[in-house]
Amino acid sequence: MNRPNPSLPPTPLSPADLLAWNRRAWDAAVENGSIWTIPVSPAVVARARMGDWSILLTPTRSVPRAWFPDLVGCNVLCLAGGGGQQGPLLAAAGAHVTVFDNAPAQLAGDAAVAAREGLTIRCEQGDMADLSRFADGTFDLIVNPCSTMFVPDVRPIWREAWRVLRPGGLFMAGFNNPISYLFDAFRADEGELVVRHSLPYSDIADLTEAERARLIEDEQPFEWSHTLEDLIGGQIEAGFVIVGFYEDRWAGNPLDALMNTFFATLARKPA
């Protein structure tokens, strides 16, 4: 399928423009077969039905099973978690799953697995910072795979997650370590670490016009780094208590040879 050359409206870009572009970019990622968009196989779902399952919040390290409540009858929100990977496994393990994602093509992956496997999964398209369609205290567990780098402001996400969780509910999220954004991403793709940017970083503010055009031509989503004060302190400010933490790395960047470049948190809403 040949798509027309991608383009964006003239700058300055509104929040709606940025949300729409990243939606388009992730739909393109599905079409291009990104590993984060490939739904789980029937064999993996079959094992999950037997209690043998795991999910990822970060690239390679499975979430500890001790982080999860009993999933049978648990109301779970997979926040920015489309792609047919986490949601179907949690549903096969007995949870009542809602998958919420900005990209329709990502949601189509969850719907396809649900239809194939006879699972019930509710798929909702929207902005992860706006969960207004859900009532207070709707969910027992929120699962948020690495996605906050695709939004300019994370604090509204924490406030909405707090609101839609029941008292005592759990919120688990994966993150790209902000230190990754110190380096020139284009040079890193060539295996060279070159310190270039101050933090927090933004594709919109910190790239040249030619570099942004390159991202647009390649249909890449725009990214932002965030301070640890926003990523962790923001959860605490929203009312969460951080009760779990681990780090991870991925071979996709030369920095990963030197340090862990991803982390995950488990937070609880006090009862």
The domains of the chain are located at 15-176+232-251+260-268
Check residue 5 and give its pLDDT: 52
Tens digits of residue pLDDT in 150-209? 999 999 999 999 999 999 999 999 999 999 999 999 999 999 999 999 999 999 999 999
User: Has this prediction a pTM greater than 0.85?
Assistant: yes
Flag residues of the chain having pLDDT under 50.
Answer: 1-4
Q: What DSSP line would sit under the chain, residue for residue?
A: -PPPPP--PSSSPPHHHHHHHHHHHHHHHHHTT-GGGPPPPHHHHHHHHTT----BSSSSPBPPGGG----TT-EEEEET--SSSHHHHHHHTT-EEEEEES-HHHHHHHHHHHHHHT--EEEEES-TT--TTSPTT-EEEEEE-S-GGGSS--HHHHHHHHHHEEEEEEEEEEEE-GGGGGB-HHHHTTT---B---SS-BHHHHS-HHHHHHHHHTTPPP-B---HIIIIIHHHHHT-EEEEEEEE--TTSGGGGTS--EEEEEEE---
For domain 15-176+232-251+260-268, give the CATH number.
Answer: 3.40.50.150
Check residue 251 and give its pLDDT: 85
Check residue 7 and give its pLDDT: 67
